[in-house]
Amino acid sequence: MSQPRVVRIELTPVFVPFRSAVREVMDSSVGGLGMAIAAEETWTGGDFVICQLTAEDGSQGVGEAFVWLPETGVSPAHLIDTIAEGLARYLLGQSPFDVERLRKRMDANVARSDVAKGVLDMACYDLMGRISGRSSHDFMGGRVVDAVPLAALVPLVDIDTMVELAQSFLGAGTRTFRLKLGRSIDEDARIVARMREVLGDEVRLRVDYNQAYSPAEAVRAIRAIEPFGIDFAEQPVAAADYLGMAHVQERVATPLLAHEGCFSLQDIVTLVELGAVGVIGVNSERPGGVTNALRAIAYAEQRGLGVVLHNQPLGIASAMQIHLAAARFPALGHAIELFGHVMLEDDLILGGLDYSDGQVDVPSGAGWGVDLDRDALEKYATAASVILEPS
């Protein structure tokens, strides 16, 4: 029996502002970004593209992509145009269950564009679940755990505020923290020392430099905090400086993770083969959807590397990453970090996800197990939806 085919793609650009408390914290930081990245634009919220696929039987699946020019290099309009003018023809009229073949065709006909390919792929996994009445994690190998531990993000502001934020997360059950660093090596060491003192030896710490240092500086910076026990250090040097990452990784014991400089499967393989990273980062955009995320996790597992799922998504991509973590939990080795529900004033889903005691429950039900809030979608849309159908 043939599966229903995709007959409609609907793409909606949205902007969701940060919560007022988050904006206040960001405004108090140098550059207004809460991190050491050198971007000049004010970061006041998140730009996303919501992708809805409709099948012949009326079933609908949803995907979500976060875009930010200083990192992804594309805007919502760029992403939508890539799908409308290039990728849609390889999905319309096809079964969403044929994810491997669909990805191969997209890769053969449209170079790079992993974020655009990924949002279509992601929506296919939800649509598969909706058509079959099964949870999406069933198509990733099946659920291994019922809840997934979470990490908390602590922005780079004054040290007292950072400590206060970390303590609030600790009191709510969080046991893993990502600390934004990068204003200076001495300050980095003070922040990490204070955090270890206040939070105790049982919590896990990871740090994120957002490209703050040269390779030589990064070596000194990481060595300065290694006595405090660091799970991994994220993007200490410029995104494009793969050789610089390798230079640093060779000289420090702490595993490195590339974020701003890692979008595709080939990026991951290149960084690993150069000896430039010890942990691989994955989210809904990097390396692009569920199919490539599964490949990346399998590759990391074979190489003996940890995997971190992290981003600040809305509810759809949060659910996707929870399903992915639940299905591949033994291969990760690190708590996942989903911070959109903390940072953004709305997650665009009905009912929400159950975040409590430092973890999140795996949603049940067909597909992602969460439903798009169409009223919220309309509220936060920044332009009319683009609808694509077979010609």
Residues 285, 67: Cα–Cα separation, whole Å: 9
pLDDT tens-place string over residues 287-305: 999 999 999 999 999 999 9
Whether residue 147 sits in one domain with residue 127: no
Whether residue 220 sits in one domain with residue 326: yes
pLDDT at position 252 is 98
The CATH number of the domain holding residue 310 is 3.20.20.120
Give the number of C-alpha atoms closer than 13 A to the C-alpha of residue 260, restricted to the C-beta side. Answer: 24
For 200, residues 6+ apart whose C-beta sits below 8 A from its C-beta are none
Going by C-alpha positions, the residue among 362, 286, 388 that lies closest to residue 80 is 388
Residue numbers of the domain that contains 260: 140-370
Whether residue 328 sits in one domain with residue 179: yes
Whether residue 90 sits in one domain with residue 187: no
Whether residue 64 sits in one domain with residue 146: no
Whether residue 196 sits in one domain with residue 326: yes
Examine residue 248 and state whether it is found in any structural domain, yes or no: yes
- pTM of this prediction? 0.96
Whether residue 118 sits in one domain with residue 247: no
pLDDT at position 201 is 96
Whether residue 333 sits in one domain with residue 238: yes
Burial class (CB in 10 A: 0-12, 13-18, 19+), 109: exposed
The parts of the chain modelled with pLDDT lower than 50 are none
Residues 271, 245: Cα–Cα separation, whole Å: 8
pLDDT tens-place string over residues 22-81: 888 877 776 777 777 777 777 889 999 999 999 999 999 999 999 999 889 999 999 999
Examine residue 1 and state whether it is found in any structural domain, yes or no: no
The CATH number of the domain holding residue 380 is 3.30.390.10
Whether residue 168 sits in one domain with residue 49: no
Q: Sign of torsion, CA 257 262 265 267?
A: negative
Residues 208, 200: Cα–Cα separation, whole Å: 20
CB 240 within 8 Å of CB 220: no
Examine residue 297 and state whether it is found in any structural domain, yes or no: yes
Whether residue 149 sits in one domain with residue 90: no
pLDDT at position 1 is 59
Whether residue 212 sits in one domain with residue 93: no
Whether residue 147 sits in one domain with residue 106: no
Which run of H or E residues covers position 6? strand 6-17
Q: How many domains does the chain have?
A: 2
CA 70 from centre of chain: 15
